Structure 1
Amino acid sequence: MMHIQQEAEERHVLTVTVDNEAGILAKIAGLFTARGYNIDSLTVADITENHAVSRITIVTHGPPSQIDQIHAQLERLVPVHKVVDLTEVGPHVARELALVKVAGTGEKRVEALRIAEVFRARPVDTTTESFIFEMTGAPDKIDSFVALMRDLGLVEVGRTGIVAMARGPQEA
């Protein structure tokens, strides 16, 4: 009887520094799609004064061999300058921004405001029947806030995706 050992799935945060040019994001997404890899979160932003370089933060998961393969394939793309697996580098800070719309009146409204205060979510839009809260934090903190708002009249959620950086004074 053959026993196939499965590698444990791991969540990894990758930062990819690239030339800021048309089509690079499509190439990277295509690399993941062609191999059946999933992207859990994706953020892209210009990071230089002359708009020549962008930083892409990708959160993905898979067994270590698959993560190594993703890393190696990303490094082979021509407009890629650098790929860093922050999960492998060590301690890092990961944050996300969310807008959370909650509709409700009376006690549910009061409770939504109370919970928002505990989570340091700020109301950025208020009507007599709804709020839009703005919140930044670790993804699990945002997940918890959204879960609590479900019972209080959650209407809509918008999330930016994760942005991450290695801790300490050096560039990763």
Structure 2
Amino acid sequence: METTQQGKTMVLNHRQIEQKITRIAFEIFERNAEEEVLVVAGLTGMGYVLAQRVVEKLREIAPFHLQLIKIDLDKSQPNIHEVRLSEQVPLTGAAVILVDDVLNTGKTLTYAMVPFLEAEVKQMEVLVLVNRSHKLYPVAPDYTGFELATTLSEHITVDLNAEASTVHLH
């Protein structure tokens, strides 16, 4: 790991992130090979950007139809504001993958599940790029790019935009 002048430690560089996205896409394909339609739902911010990148890779390798949607919620106060989906797609009986960049305590992902629970989906899986393993809520990722043991005072910054994607610890 490389430390920058700003006191940040690079955890993953662009090439490593691309490798992890590719591996995760193949895992999704293997576990969902029987599905005709797969709904990939990314949480507002970098979760949605990660979902877009995973869907791009899946379109290269998987024959099933992919529906990409965004989950809009206030990550700082998910219990106060309504959780909304960017578009209405048929969810009853659907296979759904919830995507977020970092799993901290599981609180945000727990609230993000609400619209899908109301629709009685067939199955719901969770994908995160970085799992910090600070579980306060019973949410465990099915697909993980990187496991990282951190303290609660440390922060993870994920930048998936442009050609220089990075994950930093500070």
TM-score normalised by the chain length of structure 2: 0.26
Considering fraction of residues, name the structure with more strand: 1
Considering fraction of residues, name the structure with more helix: 1
User: Over alpha carbons, which structure has the higher Rg?
Assistant: 1
TM-score normalised by the chain length of structure 1: 0.26
